[in-house]
Amino acid sequence: MQLTLENNKNTKSDKLPFSRTNPFQAKVLKNINLNGTSSSKETRHIELSLKGSGLSYVPGDALGVIPANDPELVAALIEEMKWDEEEVVTVGKQGETMPLKEALTTYLEITLLTKKILQQAAAFTENEELQKLVMIENASQLKEYCYGRDLLDMLRAFGPWKASAQDIVSLLRKMTARLYSIASSLTANPDEVHLTIGAVRYTAHGRDRKGVCSVLCAERVQEGDTLPVFVQANKHFFLPESQDKDIIMVGPGTGIAPFRSFIQERAVNKVTGRSWLFFGDQHAASDFLYQNELEKYQQDGVLTKLDTAFSRDSAQKVYVQHKMLENSKELFEWLENGAYFYVCGDKEHMAKDVNEALISVIEKEGALTRDAAEAYLKDMQQQGRYQRDVY
Ligand SMILES: Cc1cc2nc3c(=O)[nH]c(=O)nc-3n(C[C@H](O)[C@H](O)[C@H](O)COP(=O)(O)OP(=O)(O)OC[C@H]3O[C@@H](n4cnc5c(N)ncnc54)[C@H](O)[C@@H]3O)c2cc1C
pLDDT value for 14: 58
pLDDT value for 124: 98
Of the chain, the percentage scoring pLDDT greater than 70 comes to 96
In this predicted structure, the answer to whether residue 1 has a pLDDT above a threshold of 50 is no
Mean pLDDT over each residue of the chain, to the nearest integer? 96
Residue 364 sits in a domain whose CATH number is 3.40.50.80
In this predicted structure, the answer to whether residue 5 has a pLDDT above a threshold of 60 is no
Average pLDDT over residues 303-329: 97
Asked, for residue 4, whether it belongs to a domain, the answer is no
Report d(CA 292, CA 270) in Å as an integer: 20
Residue nearest (by alpha carbon) to ligand 1 atom 38: 202
> Does any ligand 1 atom lie closer than 6 A to the CB of residue 387?
no
Q: What is the pLDDT of residues 233-286, one digit of tens each?
A: 999 999 999 999 999 999 999 999 999 999 999 999 999 999 999 999 999 999
Residue 112 sits in a domain whose CATH number is 1.20.990.10
Asked, for residue 266, whether it belongs to a domain, the answer is yes
pLDDT value for 4: 43
The reply to whether 162 and 35 lie within a common domain is no
Number of domains in the chain: 3
In this predicted structure, the answer to whether residue 311 has a pLDDT above a threshold of 60 is yes
Q: For residue 197, which atom of ligand 1 is closest to its CA?
A: 11
The reply to whether 255 and 380 lie within a common domain is yes
Sign of CA dihedral 252, 256, 257, 259: positive
Q: What is the pLDDT of residues 73-89, one digit of tens each?
A: 999 999 999 999 999 99
Report d(CA 271, CA 389) in Å as an integer: 23
Report d(CA 214, CA 46) in Å as an integer: 11
Q: In this structure, which long-range contacts are made by residues 71-77, counting pairs with CB atoms below 8 Å and at least 24 apart in sequence?
A: 71/105, 73/110, 73/111, 73/150, 73/152, 74/101, 74/104, 74/105, 74/110, 76/152, 77/104, 77/110, 77/151, 77/152, 77/155
Q: How far is the CA of 183 from the centre of ligand 1 (A)?
A: 17
Beta strands in 282-352 (DSSP E): 305-310, 340-345
Average pLDDT over residues 176-182: 98
Report d(CA 254, CA 180) in Å as an integer: 9
Return the biggest CA–CA distance within the chain.
Answer: 70
> Does any ligand 1 atom lie closer than 6 A to the CB of residue 62?
yes
Average pLDDT over residues 353-357: 98
The answer to whether 201 and 210 are in contact (CB under 8 A) is yes
CA distances to 172, 292, 315, 366 from 117, rounded to whole Å, are 7, 47, 45, 53
Asked, for residue 256, whether it belongs to a domain, the answer is yes
Report d(CA 233, CA 62) in Å as an integer: 6
Average pLDDT over residues 114-131: 98
pLDDT value for 12: 53
pLDDT value for 2: 42
pLDDT value for 274: 98
Rg of the chain (C-alpha set): 24
The reply to whether 263 and 382 lie within a common domain is yes
The reply to whether 89 and 131 lie within a common domain is yes
The reply to whether 294 and 159 lie within a common domain is no
The reply to whether 354 and 336 lie within a common domain is yes
Asked, for residue 18, whether it belongs to a domain, the answer is no
Residue nearest (by alpha carbon) to ligand 1 atom 6: 180
- Tell me which residue range forms the domain holding 33: 24-67+177-232
Domain boundary among 154, 174, 194: 174
10 band by pLDDT with thresholds 50, 70 and 90: low
Asked, for residue 14, whether it belongs to a domain, the answer is no
141 band by pLDDT with thresholds 50, 70 and 90: very high
How many residues are there in the chain? Answer: 391
Q: What is the pLDDT of residues 185-236, one digit of tens each?
A: 999 999 999 999 999 999 999 999 999 999 999 999 999 999 999 999 999 9
In single-letter form, the type of residue at position 226 comes to T
Domain boundary among 232, 256, 271: 232
Asked, for residue 153, whether it belongs to a domain, the answer is yes
pLDDT value for 345: 98
Q: Which of 354, 174, 192, 206 is nearest to 278 (CA)?
A: 354
What residues have CB less than 8 Å from 73, skipping those under 6 apart? 110, 111, 150, 152
In this predicted structure, the answer to whether residue 379 has a pLDDT above a threshold of 70 is yes
The reply to whether 118 and 253 lie within a common domain is no
Report d(CA 359, CA 342) in Å as an integer: 14
Report d(CA 205, CA 149) in Å as an integer: 7
Q: At what angle do helices 350-365 and 370-382 cross, to 10 degrees?
A: 110
Cα dihedral 208/213/218/224 (nearest 10): 150
Residue 203 sits in a domain whose CATH number is 2.40.30.10
Of all helices (H) and strands (E), which one includes residue 365? helix 350-365
Q: How far is the CA of 124 from the centre of ligand 1 (A)?
A: 31
> Does any ligand 1 atom lie closer than 6 A to the CB of residue 269?
no
Q: Which of 211, 195, 209, 251 is nearest to 387 (CA)?
A: 251
| Its pTM surpasses 0.85 | yes
The answer to whether 83 and 90 are in contact (CB under 8 A) is no
Q: Which of 270, 274, 271, 259 is nearest to 331 (CA)?
A: 274
The reply to whether 260 and 359 lie within a common domain is yes
The reply to whether 216 and 160 lie within a common domain is no
pLDDT value for 227: 98
Q: For residue 111, which atom of ligand 1 is closest to its CA?
A: 29
> Does any ligand 1 atom lie closer than 6 A to the CB of residue 148?
yes
Report d(CA 137, CA 153) in Å as an integer: 22
Asked, for residue 2, whether it belongs to a domain, the answer is no
The reply to whether 143 and 205 lie within a common domain is no
Report d(CA 98, CA 90) in Å as an integer: 7
> Does any ligand 1 atom lie closer than 6 A to the CB of residue 179?
yes
Beta strands in the chain (DSSP E): 24-33, 43-49, 62-65, 88-91, 96-99, 178-181, 192-198, 201-204, 207-210, 226-232, 247-250, 275-281, 305-310, 340-345, 386-390
pLDDT value for 16: 78
Q: How far is the CA of 149 from the centre of ligand 1 (A)?
A: 15
The reply to whether 84 and 166 lie within a common domain is yes
3 band by pLDDT with thresholds 50, 70 and 90: low
Of the chain, the percentage scoring pLDDT greater than 90 comes to 95
Q: Which of 12, 18, 68 is nearest to 229 (CA)?
A: 18
Q: How far is the CA of 176 from the centre of ligand 1 (A)?
A: 12
Asked, for residue 320, whether it belongs to a domain, the answer is yes
The reply to whether 253 and 364 lie within a common domain is yes
